[in-house]
Amino acid sequence: MNAILMGYFRLARPANLPTAAADILAGVAIAGVLTFGQNNPFDSLISLDIFYLILSSIFLYAGGVILNDVFDFKVDMLERPERPIPSGTVSLKSAMIYGAAILLGGIVLAFLVGKLSGIVAVALASAILIYDSRAKKNDFFGPLNMGICRGLNLILGMTVLGDLGFWWLAIIPIVYIFAITLISRGEVHGDNKNHIVLAGILYATVIFAVLTISYFYTDSILTTLFFVILFGVMVFRPLAQAHNENSPKNIKKAVMAGVISLIVLDASIAVTFSVWWYGLIILALLPISMGLSKLFSVT
């Protein structure tokens, strides 16, 4: 593949994009598309809205990480000179236009679904820009802001039917992404055992929350339990390894596992509000993300 084209792909972090789609699919399930008899998820109009929301989410995510590299240009010159912008593969101006155009495209796609979806997309884009430009520099507000971005992405999926009755479930990805962002703070230099311990506690809190919600909202908690166990294995094994051997390499693996495992977390939430096979559809995004992670950096 052409080096410049590959540089543009790398900026968008392709391995992470299926996780954005998973958020939307989980939000769609929470909205009740698969549980209310009058709503057929395979209805042409609903299917088109879901498709637009997935594309919107992917565009917003891609635009956000591209612009993140734009804002990080000077830091990456020292710490990550192999990235597309500092290496000269993609110019700073081109990356800026590229990221802004994709971010704007994500907002437009959301408005095609409806006003509520568009408003949530604008809020999400604003949160993304705040994180990229300022919040990420703060040890507390950076992880919190990143979590809010994921929470808004889940809410974006809920807007498919225009009802946000379960908006508070966005707290789960907020806490989870807060934990991952904490871990990533030691990705370059290592020495972040305290952050890893706190992240482990937050992971456990997320698991407890999902199981509690499942207990109250589904008759088949065993289905949720299956996905939750898979999620726990995927996130805690690399986390323990990063704690035992607190090297940048292991920390990066823990971060990568955390990001990709968001797909499993979304599946765990989705089956609580839908059916088991819908969780498997979301889970099918996992091998796609894992395969892409072998070709493109997750962080």
Predicted local confidence at residue 186, as pLDDT: 64
Q: How far is CA 200 from CA 37, 83, 170, 239, in A?
A: 39, 30, 19, 7
User: What is the SS3 assignment for 279?
Assistant: helix
CA distance 17 to 181: 17
Q: How far is CA 184 from CA 169, 195, 254, in A?
A: 24, 9, 8
Residue carrying structure tokens 């992405």: 153
Q: DSSP class of residue 39? A: -
Alpha helices per DSSP H over 134-192: 141-158, 171-184
CA distance 12 to 14: 6
Predicted local confidence at residue 277, as pLDDT: 94
Predicted local confidence at residue 203, as pLDDT: 98
- Residues with Cβ within 8 Å of residue 273, at least 6 apart in sequence: 29, 30, 32, 34, 35, 166, 217, 218
Predicted local confidence at residue 297, as pLDDT: 83
The domain limits of the chain are 3-293
Predicted local confidence at residue 291, as pLDDT: 94
pLDDT per residue as tens digits for the range 223-264: 999 999 999 999 999 999 999 988 888 999 999 999 999 999
Q: Which CATH superfamily is domain 3-293 in?
A: UbiA prenyltransferase (1.10.357.140)
User: Taking the CA of residue 131 as centre, how many other CA atoms within 13 Å lie in the half-sphere pointing to its CB?
Assistant: 26
Q: pTM for this structure? A: 0.94
Predicted local confidence at residue 184, as pLDDT: 84
Helix axes 262-272, 221-244, angle to 10 degrees: 160
pLDDT per residue as tens digits for the range 35-52: 755 566 566 678 999 999
Low-confidence ranges of the chain (pLDDT < 50): none
